[in-house]
Chains A and B, each alone.
Chain A
Amino acid sequence: MSLELRNVVKQVGAETHIYPTSLVFERGVFNILLGSTLAGKTSLLHLMSGLEKPGKGEIWFDGKNVTGVAVQKRNVSMVYQQFINYPNYTIFDNIASPLHVAGFDAAEIKKRVGSLAEMLKLTPMLDRKPSELSGGQQQRTAIARALAKDADLVLLDEPLANLDYKLREELRDDLPKLFADRGCVVVYATTEPGEALLLGGRTAALDKGSVVQFGETGKVYRSPDSLLSAQVFSDPPINVISISRKGDVFETAGGLNWPAGDSKLGDGEYIFGLRPHHVTPVKSGVEQLEIKGRVQVKEISGSESLIHFAFAENVWISQVRGIFDLKLGSEVAFYADISKGMFFNPDGSCVD
């Protein structure tokens, strides 16, 4: 029992928003759409909800073709990035609105709204209007409304993006619990790889309207199918450099080299990718390779530093705990955990 997209295509004017896409989303797992802005996450969610019809292809739900079924006739609910509530309704009526439309009786509505409000800590606010609530409460109202009618398909379009850090963490912990035993298909769109990893489930990595990889979240992260997939699933961006194998040695563009060891790659040109947190300005492990780079930018976020440095005509990033006193423009030694690196063919495809 599932939601199935079969070769759906969406074009708007001359622009293609979604290239032929086939995906199967199962019930009971968190399905994540991961991609930057304009990757097509919202377009895909619109297609799944029935708000927009695909130009080509079919959408099946639980073995039924629902491609042409109007959104009102499908049992769908959606939460947006902006806090969308009906401004003229009280919180109670906001949560109850899908039930009102579906024609539930007053007692049942009262019971359902009451338990949802309890679950999402909205009980004291039921008589207020959305504009009198904080952002987090407004978003919880939207989530409560999405849960109210026991939808078969729940679409969450970056629901935490507009919340402040603390609220985001709080709601992110709650979300999987809220959907855990509802048996609906949950699709969650996000731009943040970290969020995808925290939520688990299955992830579809999107880039410019195409799905680059779909699978278990951890697997997509650890063994990306392609350079593109690794790039989508990396924030800050993954460090890349061209590399070649000659005999027993790997040699990178900047003249770094290390023994190939028992690598199964044949001689030839490759692209080497290394996630920023595997590059540090302090020596720690044994298997580390020293890279000399010129420091360009330092960003500090909390107790974490992002150090951008120029290395062999590329800009690499080191993501590391702690704050380092590095002078901009100075040449500094970084240590790369090359065993964590990934190899791709020069065209970005996976080597196997």
Chain B
Amino acid sequence: MTKRTNWIVPTFYIFFLMLPIYWLINMSFKTTNEILGAFTLWPQEFTFDNYIKIFTDPTWYTGYLNSLTYVGLNTVISVSVALPAAYAFSRYRFLGDKHLFFWLLTNRMAPPAVFALPFFQLYSAFNLFDTHIAVALAHCLFNIPLAVWILEGFMSGVPKELDETAYIDGYSFSRFFVKIFIPTIAAGIGVAAFFCFMFSWVELLLAKTLTSVAAKPIAAVMTRTASTSGYELGLLAAAGTLTIVPGAFVIYFVRNYIAKGFAMGRV
């Protein structure tokens, strides 16, 4: 391909990628009447009403707070459980270690729908139904294996001589782990936390099954509004736009590390 036509493919690619997102943002500033009426490329009656409604109506904004709460909880639990597990996989040889490590990955292959019913029953039995911690724990199902895989890759990139040097210098294991090892693999922790955040944020089925009112996630709020009060498309578009924001925000902070994670073949 010559230099003059080089721009064509990427331009089209980005255009088609961005088109639905543009359309979502476009709709979020329109009134529902305009959306249902004539086809317009940009808002004719520009309005912030949809956003104002979301930020003032508790049924809307608590959805965001609920989602952020269980996603945050899940990210913290997943990463803190995965850190010692990944350390064990990267540093010690034990019976069946490789099989166990691979088995962890196969957990990600099961569709969450498989677990929806048993989880619903179990969490109800323990009075955890409709709590943030229930969803956070349920999402550990796929996030802990993922975090272990990502962190193991980063940890194996650190020579074990670093551990030995620390012991020789007199560090105890816990002091070494917190003061030296964790800062050394900070990038890996960032990447693992990002992926836990993303996967927990976009997961709907388990989150919806395990909650009713008190911990209802934003995605569930969105589907319910669509079905009950007719077509509030402008409002939905605004909610959708706001749902993209946290992910975009988080990815901005870890963008450099993610490339490193990809290079290690673990992401």
Q: Give the contacts of A134-173 with B (CB-CB under 8 A).
A: 142, 145, 149
Any A CB within 8 A of the CB of B183: yes
Taking CB atoms, residues of chain A closer than 8 Å to B169 are 77, 97-98, 101, 145, 149
Q: In the bound complex, how far is the Cα of B175 from the Cα of A98, in angstroms? A: 13
Residue of B nearest to A79 (CB): B165
Query: A341 near B: Cβ within 8 Å?
Result: no
Q: How many A-B residue pairs have CB under 8 A?
A: 53
- Smallest Cβ distance from A270 to chain B, in angstroms? 44
A82 touches B172 (CB 8 A): no
A82 touches B159 (CB 8 A): yes
Residues on B with beta carbons closer than 8 Å to the beta carbon of A72 = 167, 170-172
B180 touches A86 (CB 8 A): yes
Least CB distance, B155 to chain A, in whole angstroms: 13
Q: How far is the CA of A102 from the CA of B172 in the complex (A)?
A: 12
Chain B 155-192: CB-based contact to A (< 8 A → 1; otherwise 0): 00001011011111111100100001001101000000
- In the complex, whether A76 has a CB less than 8 A from a CB of chain B is yes
Report the separation of the CA atoms of residues A76 and B166 in the bound assembly, to the nearest whole angstrom: 11
Assembly CA distance A98 to B168 (angstroms): 8
- CB contacts (< 8 Å) of A145 on chain B: these are 165, 169
Within A66-96, the residues touching B (CB, 8 Å) are 71-72, 76-78, 80, 82, 84, 86-89
Q: Contact size class for A? A: 20 to 34
Which chain A positions have C-beta within 8 A of B165? 78, 80, 84, 86, 142, 145
Is B170 within 8 A of A102, CB to CB?
yes
Contact among B159, B168, B175 for A78, CB-based, below 8 A: B168
CA A49 to CA B161, docked complex, whole Å:
13
Dominant SS at the B interface?
A: helix
Which size bracket describes the interface of B in this complex? 10 to 19
A101 to B172, CA, bound (A): 9
Kindly list chain B residues whose C-beta atoms are within 8 Å of the C-beta of A149.
169-170
Query: In the complex the two chains form, is B164's CB within 8 Å of A98's CB?
Result: no
Q: B169's closest neighbor in chain A, by CB?
A: A98
Chain B contacts for A82, CB-based, 8 A: 159, 161
- Selected from A84, A101, A142, the residue in CB contact (under 8 A) with B170 is A101
CB-CB nearest in chain B for A75: B170
Query: In the bound complex, how far is the Cα of B165 from the Cα of A71, in angstroms?
Result: 10
Which residue of B162, B168, B172, B184 is within 8 Å of A51 (Cβ)?
Answer: B168
In the bound assembly, the distance between CA atoms of A101 and B173 in angstroms comes to: 13
Besides A77-B169, A86-B180, A101-B171, 17 other A-B contacts (C-beta < 8 A) = A49-B164, A51-B164, A72-B171, A72-B172, A77-B168, A78-B164, A80-B161, A80-B165, A82-B159, A84-B161, A84-B162, A86-B165, A87-B183, A87-B184, A88-B183, A97-B169, A101-B169
10 pairs of A and B residues whose beta carbons are closest in the complex = A88-B183, A101-B170, A98-B169, A80-B161, A84-B161, A71-B167, A84-B165, A72-B170, A78-B168, A86-B180
